Copies of this chain bind each other. A is one copy, B any other.
Amino acid sequence: MEKPSIPKGTRDFGPTSMSKREFIFQHIRGVFRKYGFQPLETPAMENLSTLTGKYGDEGDRLLFRILNSGDFLEGVDIQKLLARDPGTSSKLTEKGLRYDLTVPFARYVVMNRHDITFPFKRYQIQPVWRADRPQKGRYREFYQCDADVVGTDSLLCEAEIILMINEVFEKLGIKDYTIRMNHRGILSGLADQSGAMNENALFVAMDKLDKMGAEKVKDELLTAGISKQGIAVLFDRLNFSGSNADKINWMRTEFASSQKGTIGATALAEVLNLVSHFGLEENHVHLDLSLARGLSYYTGAIFEVRINHVSIGSVCGGGRYDNLTGIFGMPDVSGIGISFGVDRIYDAMEELTLFPAEANVSTNVLVVTMDEKCFQYGIMVLSSLRSRQIAGEIYPDTSKLKKQLDYANKKMIPFVVIIGSEELETGLLTLKNLATGGQEKITLEKLLQYDF
């Protein structure tokens, strides 16, 4: 018999990793809710017409497509199929797996526009699938955790995104991180000043600064048709350093004659102002003119978060967009979104050993019994513990003590209650703390009041 396996790029999450992942999800979900975001779930399968053309050619290529059920050759032009005509697969297959949470969200908003109360704040925590080549840290199935507000252009949303990021990281115990923030208006101002004809080519190149370094990016900019002088101007601007307040002042002067640049500087100043109104002392925000992010649909503020001293890349990103629902025929809806990368946060927390021990505890107490009579009594003890909402188990048979203790140890159950003939006689149960190894004799009454 063939050994069972799972598709490459996918993972099982067993109890240990699930508990840690749930620790992350739970805190992100809690913060989203606390800020008034409501849950949404969309189907794993979307019509291909919803998905294709939304993520560029590369994205189309990376979509997982579902073979039509029944006679999947029905309506397929066989000659085209054999010629590998790319259009053919759209007859074989009419559905694809969710590629991100943003496009389904836009699709949902457009389909439900008459029932939705705007501004609409939704969060969505679901897996997405990409037929990418699997490698370390890159999977074919992974979760996204998104929160978006649509239907308002209030900069309060930008400020609250910064607050939410701070609160999530605080709850996760991550202290050393940087929220880089920039604005599309500033990027456009930079593009003007450097004489770039093709804004997007400029942003795509700038986005690689971290990975490739300045020299290679300069080469790429030259190739993209930006003059040496323009590149010099650009890097002069990018090199400005100082506090956020310094940068705001400098931007206001630098982009005084650029309408887009001025909008950007004013917006960034107002966002920081609102954040301080909320009373956040250390906001972790670092204005960064070089932050571009690849996605061309951003129109306002953009964000990216990195955990410092961990070589894991961005763990959270987002920004404002003004026309996300336009692709489905509903123009002029301004929105802003943020997405947390759970897999990377998980890896970073492992590297920094930030998961608390409690993240691993599922059962609090195991009742261990030495014979049939003790087992009967143990059932009553367990039942009493559970009625106090304590997560408990009884070992299902009267195996040797060592075997039962092994079970508790391996399952990281912190306490065992041992019931043998002596305990049955005296009415004093043995409570053992497996972490410390210490044990005490305790009455049932005291046990039920014990702070597990």
- For chain A, residues 27 to 76, give those with C-beta under 8 angstroms from any C-beta of chain B: 33-47, 49-50, 61-62, 64-67, 69, 71-73
When C-beta atoms are compared, the residue in chain B nearest to A18 turns out to be B39
The quantity of this chain's copies bound in the complex is 2
Tell me if A379 is interfacial: C-beta within 8 Å of chain B: yes
**Bound Cα distance A64, B328 (Å):** 27
The answer on a CB contact under 8 Å between B38 and A141 is no
Q: In the complex the two chains form, is A7's CB within 8 Å of B84's CB? A: no
Given A279-B383, A411-B117, answer yes or no on A141-B13 (Cβ-Cβ < 8 Å): no
CA distance A152 to B64 in the complex (A): 40
Instruction: Check A227 for interface membership: any CB of B closer than 8 A.
Output: no
The reply on A12 being an interface residue by CB < 8 A is yes
Q: Of B14, B61, B127, B279, which one neighbours A40 at CB under 8 angstroms?
A: B14
In the assembled complex, which residues on chain B have CB atoms less than 8 Å from the CB atom of A426?
Answer: none
One digit per residue, 1 when the CB lies within 8 angstroms of any chain B CB and 0 when it does not, for chain A 3-18 equals: 1111100111111001
Q: Is the CB of B71 within 8 A of A93?
A: no
User: Does B15 contact A40, Cβ atoms closer than 8 Å?
Assistant: yes
- A43 and B274: CB pair below 8 A? no
Q: Pick the residue among B38, B71, B131, B394 that contacts A18 (CB under 8 A).
A: B38
In the complex, how many angstroms separate the beta carbon of A120 from the nearest chain B beta carbon?
9
- List residues of chain B with CB within 8 A of the CB of A35: 386, 391, 393
Least distance between A62 CB and chain B CB atoms (Å): 8
Least CB separation from A411: chain B residue: B117
Contact A129 B44 (CB under 8 A): yes
Within the assembled complex, what's the spacing in Å between the Cα atoms of A108 and B152?
46
A44 with B141: CB separation less than 8 A? yes
Return 7 A-B CB contacts under 8 Å, by A number.
A4-B111, A6-B42, A13-B42, A15-B40, A18-B38, A38-B362, A67-B89
**Closest 9 A-B residue pairs measured CB to CB?**
A154-B396, A10-B43, A36-B393, A15-B38, A18-B39, A69-B131, A117-B410, A1-B329, A36-B363
